[in-house]
Amino acid sequence: MTQKTASRRHFLKVSAGVGFATLSAPLFLQGCGKEEGGLNCANPPGLTPQQRTQRTQLGYVDKGPDPSRHCDVCAFYTEPASPNTCGGCTLGIGDVNPKGTCNSFAPKPS
């Protein structure tokens, strides 16, 4: 059998590759979730047990399949204070995704 010994050159190549991968990962990942509807308001911090129960009872989903029934065109939706953040809902379910929906959807009056 031949015994392969690790050389200093091999060690430096592997170390450089691992270092590059570690340092460049944040650059590749920073764009994740930035696409339209990329907000994750499914489980925002600070939800009370009552709000969680209400979400379940109303069938809230963070990304609704039908754009005509999204939260941002619902009468119960309140606009967020700043762009690219979760909005509110007057039904007491906490922060909601503008592209989310629930069973209590009501279109905004024209």
11 in helix, strand or coil? helix
Structural domains of the chain ordered from first start: 35-110 (4.10.490.10)
Q: Poorest-confidence range of 6-10, 27-31, 57-61?
A: 27-31
Cα→Cα distances 7→3, 4, 17, 19, 21, Å: 12, 9, 16, 18, 21
Using DSSP's 3-state secondary structure scheme, residue 87 falls into strand
Q: pLDDT digit string (tens) for 30-87?
A: 555 444 446 789 988 889 999 999 999 999 999 999 999 999 999 999 999 998 899 9
pLDDT computed for residue 10 by the predictor = 78
Q: What angle do CA 77, 79, 85 make, to 5 degrees?
A: 110
Instruction: Using alpha carbons, list the distances in angstroms from residue 69 to 15, 38, 75, 101, 106.
Output: 52, 17, 11, 6, 8
